[in-house]
Amino acid sequence: GENVEQHPSTLSVQEGDSAVIKCTYSDSASNYFPWYKQELGKGPQLIIDIRSNVGEKKDQRIAVTLNKTAKHFSLHITETQPEDSAVYFCAASKGTYKYIFGTGTRLKVLA
C-alpha cells in the first residue's frame, strides 16, 4: 500500500549547524509534499510545502527539495536555533483528500 518512510527518527545538532530530514514515498502519483512542525502538546503546523512540478522551495532558513525520479524529498534547516527543537513530519498527497504521513523526526538543537 501507500506509505511514506521518514529518516532519521531522532536528530541532534549543535546550534548554528544544519539539519536534514529525508522522506521517501511509494505512490508515484503523489503530487503535493508538505512538512509539519509539532511542538510539545500542540498540533502539527505546516511550515513549508512543495508540489511535483517544482524541484526546490526555500523560505528563509528552511528549504525543501524533491526528486521525483527517486521518489524522495528532504527538509533542510540551516543555522538551527533552540526554538527549532520539535518533531517534524513529512507527508505525501495525490489530491484525493488522503495525506500519508511519515512517522516523524525528533530534532534536538543543542545550545
Partner 1 sequence: NAGVTQTPKFQVLKTGQSMTLQCAQDMNHNSMYWYRQDPGMGLRLIYYSASEGTTDKGEVPNGYNVSRLNKREFSLRLESAAPSQTSVYFCASTSSSDEQYFGPGTRLTVT
DSSP assignment, residue 41? Answer: T
DSSP assignment, residue 15? Answer: T
Pick one of 52, 65, 78, 103: the residue that binds partner 1 (CB under 8 A): 103
> For strand 105-110 and strand 10-14, is the pairing parallel, antiparallel, or unpaired?
parallel
Smallest separation, CB 101 to partner 1 (Å): 4
Interacting residues with partner 1 between 31 and 60 (CB under 8 A): 32, 34, 36, 41-46, 49
Burial-class residue 66 by CB neighbours within 10 Å (0-12, 13-18, 19+): buried
Site stretch for partner 1 (CB under 8 A), options 11-19, 60-68, 73-81, 101-109: 101-109
Q: Which residues bind partner 1 (CB under 8 A)?
A: 6, 9, 32, 34, 36, 41-46, 49, 89, 91, 93, 95, 97-99, 101-104
